Amino acid sequence: MELYFATGNPHKLAEANSILSKFGILLKPAPSPKIEIQSESLEEIARYAAEAAYRSLGSPLVVEDSGLFVESLKGFPGPYSSYVYKTIGCGGILRLLEGCTDRTARFECVVVYASGEEMRSFIGVTKGSIAEAPRGSSGFGFDPIFISEERDGKTFSELRPSEKSAISHRGRAFRALGEWLSCSGREHTLK
């Protein structure tokens, strides 16, 4: 089964394909860009983008949106994570947390499947905390500063890709999509 994935991020495409390959699903980059609205809701952002991309392509597809939510920053950067990463990066988040004892955080991901008949959301969450300094060399985005509570104090960047996907927000959301597509018997190919 092949589906379009409306993303401009090659890291997300590779990560999603690694997860979905176990279900016999291959994602191809959508030929049109993902349209992002400003919203406090990851699901609203992803659903809007999926609807717009489906109208443009006329072919079943998926859209993903994710964010890092830091508790002591009142959920910031949340749905603005991509912009915040591009403007202040991991170092900026660490500076905002200087002197904070509560470094609790979570990653959330919403994957939306859209076709002519339906639109369905799949959500993944990983709880953890923000490291004192960046660590590790794999991954992307805020991975060097996010410590999952499920991996013995390691940041996402210190994990092998398969270890990260097993517990990550994105891994959980894309596995839920893969399971649903496999169980529903849908046969989708790119138009």
Q: Mean pLDDT by 10-residue block, N- to C-terminus, for the chain (191 residues)?
A: 92 95 95 88 96 93 97 97 96 97 98 93 98 95 96 94 95 97 66 46
Please indicate, yes or no, if residue 13 is contained in any of the structural domains. Answer: yes
Please indicate, yes or no, if residue 93 is contained in any of the structural domains. Answer: yes
Phi, psi of 2 (to 5 degrees): -120, 135
Match 């300094």 to its residue by tokens: 133
Number of domains in the chain: 1
pLDDT at residue 151, rounded to an integer: 85
Please indicate, yes or no, if residue 39 is contained in any of the structural domains. Answer: yes
Alpha-carbon distance 129 to 146, whole Å? Answer: 6
Q: Provide the pairing of β-strand 146-148 with 2-6.
A: unpaired
Please indicate, yes or no, if residue 189 is contained in any of the structural domains. Answer: no
pLDDT at residue 183, rounded to an integer: 86
- Token reading at 85: 């990463």
pLDDT at residue 8, rounded to an integer: 87
Q: What is the CATH number of the domain that holds 47?
A: 3.90.950.10
Please indicate, yes or no, if residue 191 is contained in any of the structural domains. Answer: no
Please indicate, yes or no, if residue 110 is contained in any of the structural domains. Answer: yes
Q: Global pTM?
A: 0.92
pLDDT at residue 55, rounded to an integer: 93
pLDDT at residue 178, rounded to an integer: 96
pLDDT at residue 188, rounded to an integer: 53
The range of the structural domain enclosing residue 71 comes to 2-184
Match 């999509």 to its residue by tokens: 177
pLDDT at residue 82, rounded to an integer: 93
Residues labelled as active-site residues: 65
Please indicate, yes or no, if residue 115 is contained in any of the structural domains. Answer: yes
Per the CB < 8 A criterion, the answer to whether 20 and 62 are in contact is: no
Residues in the chain: 191
56: left (phi over 0), alpha (psi -120 to 50) or beta: alpha
- The burial class, CB within 10 Å (0-12 / 13-18 / 19+), for 168 is buried
